[in-house]
Structures are given as C-alpha cells and as structure tokens.
Amino acid sequence: MNFALHLPLNSVSFGQVSLHLLREIYRRSLEPCIFTVGNGVDLSSQSIDKEFGEWIQKCISKSLIAHSRKIPTIKLWHLNGSLESFSEKQILLTFYELNDPTPYEQNIARNNTTVLTSKYSQEAFQKKGVSCEYSPLGFDTSNFHKTDKTYFTDGRITFNIVGKLEKRKHHEKMIQAWLKRFGNDKKYFLQCAVYNPFFKDEENNALINKIIGGDKYFNLNFLGFMQRNSIYNDFLNSADIILGMSGGEGWGLPEFHSVGMGKHAVILNAHAYKEWANDKNSILVEPSGKIDAYDGMFFKPNEPFNQGQIFDFNEDEFIHACEKAIERSQENKVNEEGLKIQENFKIERTVDTLLELI
C-alpha cells in the first residue's frame, strides 16, 4: 500500500497520538513516506525499540526521494496548518476543541479530501455545512498500563488533575472548589500535573500562586513537567480518582487512559469526553451552560482560529460528584467498567479507518 504520513513526532499530545499510529502501521509491515510537522523529531518521552526506531528513520529518509503528490497523505495536525499538503489527496485527522468553526477553519476542512475528528467536532462542522467523519482514538497499551506498586500507605484517597494549565481546562475552578471541600483534610490528597510547557517556569508558578492565593495546603501537590511516559504512567497509577472537567477537549487522553487503567473518575458530560465516558465508568457532571473560551493567551477574540465557547459547570455539583466517586472508590478500588475502555477503543480501528480512505 502506497501512502504518506505527515505528523508531529514530539512529546505533547499530538506527538503521542502520532507514535501510537506509527506503531500500528509498523506492526502491519507497511512502509509509508513520513514527513514531520514542527521542529524535527523528539522521541525522548517514549521507549523506542531499535527496529521500530530504524523503521521510522527509514520512512523519513526516503520521503523526499520516493514521494509523489499522486500518493495520498494522512495528516495528523491542528486545523491551523492543515491547508498545506504534500498530496492531491489528503486525509486529515484533527481534534477541534470549540463549538463555532471560523470561515478559515471551514475552508481548511473543505480543502482536505476527508476530515476525521470527534463526534462533537463533527457536529460543529456539519452545522456549518462542512462534511466530517468520526474516528475514535485507541488506548495506548505501549505506554500506559496498570502497575502493582503501592504509592501511599496511609489510607488516603488521591485525586489527580491533569493537562496543560489554561482556562479551557478549568484547572483554577476545579482546584479551588476541591480545596474548599477537602483542603487540609488528611483523608484526601490532590495531585496536579498541570505544568504548561508553552510557559516559562515563572509563568507557571505565577498561575499556580494565583489559584491558591498564597494559602498553604499539606494535601495539595503541583508536579513539574514529566518528560518520560513511564513517569507519567506512574503518576496516573498513583491516583484513585481522576478529575476531568475541561470545557472543551478533542479527546482527553490523560483522563481516557486513567479510566482505562481502572481509575474512578469525575467527568464533565460534554464534548469529546462523551465518546468514551459514561455513567457506568464515570461520575458524570452535566454542564451548567457555556462561556467564551477567550483567555488572552491561546484563545483571543476576533482571530481567524479558535473562536467560540467552552462548557462550564456548577461547583456544588462537581463536589457532589467527587463525593460519589469517593464512595465508588471505597466500594471497589478498581473501576471495572473503566477497564473495558482498553477493549472498546483500539488503535487498530483508527488505522483501519484511515487506510480504508486511501
């Protein structure tokens, strides 16, 4: 099968998805041309075996010699940057986070042969008359799995909050609400892996200080950037409950993998979370409405991209859901329904869909 791939090979979420796709394509003994998006190749977060690493390099090296624009390309990237194409036929896999695609975003989508995204994003584009298709992601068994480690011995119930620190993910609102109810209570502990690699250390620290307002909590811990997936896997395993209340997600990989490893969860019942979270594997919180996404950093008004709204939630309902998740955790440490994600969401299905479109 003759095709090309255009994707980022780095340590952030799009790069993680890229490596997951590449592993499955490698397993099928295919050798596409690979073009990289962004600044070079950074596989430092992954454990790459010798043969797989050599295969990646071979596919990259041959691309400028073997590729033709007649050969279809599968691209994984943001809409901003996806008008550019190495082929006449381009299949775009992307993850849109808001609810109101701009004319620029609509035009880019129309100029790709096929756009694959979440059901929520699919509906947002279809309302604008732009055709998109649905494609789920798969659970990454190469990087994420249950461990047999004991992380705490004092009986505490540990909550995790994840994702790059920003308004869209409602970190400030979640943390402050949690601290009002559970702050300085030794029965509960909150771990926050919210370091934003796009900010400087002092900027991350300033945002954290703003959230906690200078107060001290012995049961609150902010963690730095975790370069290795093995370390991040340990972090996800160390919690009893994952909190996912983001106002807009293209999928929600850390929450998805946490629930898939059997962690209990409090999840906002909105956007792409709804693809994999349900009332059996998560405590769902219904949105209270929508608010503008603008934060002055990643989302600014009157820009050609990233315009629209995110979902909001009621703090009391969030805390009530946390209390219900505690009850579930006390009844059974393992979220048995969550483990079903590993069987229900496989990367083979995603790759099948992509290859069928070539």
φ, ψ for residue 225 (rounded to 5)?
-65, 130
Mean pLDDT of the 5-25 span: 95
Mean pLDDT of the 81-94 span: 97
CATH number of 157-344: 3.40.50.2000
Mean pLDDT of the 249-274 span: 98
Q: Tell me the per-residue pLDDT of 176-224, one tens digit each, with 9 for 90 and over.
A: 999 999 999 999 999 999 999 889 999 999 999 999 998 999 999 999 9
Asked whether the beta carbons of 122 and 132 are under 8 A apart, the reply is yes
| pLDDT (0 to 100) of residue 174 | 98
Q: What percent of the chain has pLDDT over 70?
A: 100
Domain ranges across the chain: 4-135, 157-344
Residue by residue, DSSP assigns 144-208 as ---------SS--EEEEEES-SSGGGTHHHHHHHHHHHHTT-TTEEEEEE---TTS-HHHHHHHH
| pLDDT (0 to 100) of residue 12 | 87
* Residue 136, CA atoms < 13 Å, CB-side half-sphere: 18
Of 60-64, 210-214, 316-320, the range with the lowest mean pLDDT is 210-214
Residue 303: pLDDT band (50, 70, 90) is very high
Q: pTM surpassing 0.85?
A: yes
Mean pLDDT of the 88-103 span: 97
Identical fold for domains 4-135 and 157-344, yes or no, is: yes
| pLDDT (0 to 100) of residue 171 | 97
| pLDDT (0 to 100) of residue 261 | 98
133-134, strands of its sheet edge to edge: 33-41, 4-9, 73-76, 90-93, 114-117, 133-134
Mean pLDDT of the 65-80 span: 97
Domain 4-135 belongs in CATH node 3.40.50: yes
Asked whether the beta carbons of 337 and 281 are under 8 A apart, the reply is yes
Residue 148: pLDDT band (50, 70, 90) is confident
Please determine, for residue 145, whether its predicted confidence score (pLDDT) is greater than 80. Answer: yes
Asked whether the beta carbons of 234 and 147 are under 8 A apart, the reply is yes
| pLDDT (0 to 100) of residue 198 | 86
| pLDDT (0 to 100) of residue 25 | 98
Q: What percent of the chain has pLDDT over 90?
A: 95
Q: Hey, what amino acid is at 301?
A: P
Is the torsion defined by CA of 77, 81, 86, 92 positive or negative? positive
Residue 107: pLDDT band (50, 70, 90) is very high
Please determine, for residue 2, whether its predicted confidence score (pLDDT) is greater than 90. Answer: yes
The mean predicted confidence, pLDDT, of the chain is 96
Please determine, for residue 39, whether its predicted confidence score (pLDDT) is greater than 80. Answer: no
